[in-house]
Amino acid sequence: MEIWINPACSKCRSALTLLDAEGAEYTVRRYLEDVPSEDELRAVLDRLGLEPWDITRTQEDAAKDLGMKEWARDAATRDRWVRALAEHPRLIQRPIITADDGTAVVGRTEEAVRDALSR
């Protein structure tokens, strides 16, 4: 499995602690440094079963500057959202764990991380 993290994020550190405690094998992707492409974001969104607005941190300054809270949330604007996430990776909700079975979860809770571990 792979986990996308921001090391400054307490939820990310908690997820790593739990993965380590459970002896999980995983790779870490510091997505602020190794920024996912638009195609990678689309693939992860498909694995999550979510839309880009579902994983956007709309309270971040970049989101406010872009006026994202006012953006439509529909198929016609999906690419605009994905492009914004690729251009401003700090907007991506974290941590994201991609499981070995092809699924993914946003691991903000212990239950979500355990869900990823069970796959």
- Residues labelled catalytic: 9
Around 89, how many Cα atoms within 13 Å sit in the side-chain half-sphere?
17
Distance separating alpha carbons of residues 40 and 80, to the nearest angstrom: 15
Q: Report the C-alpha gap between 69 and 63 in whole angstroms.
A: 8
Instruction: Please tell me the distance from the alpha carbon of residue 116 to that of residue 1, in angstroms, as a whole number.
Output: 9
Can you tell me the distance from the alpha carbon of 89 to that of 38, in angstroms, rounded to the nearest whole number?
A: 11
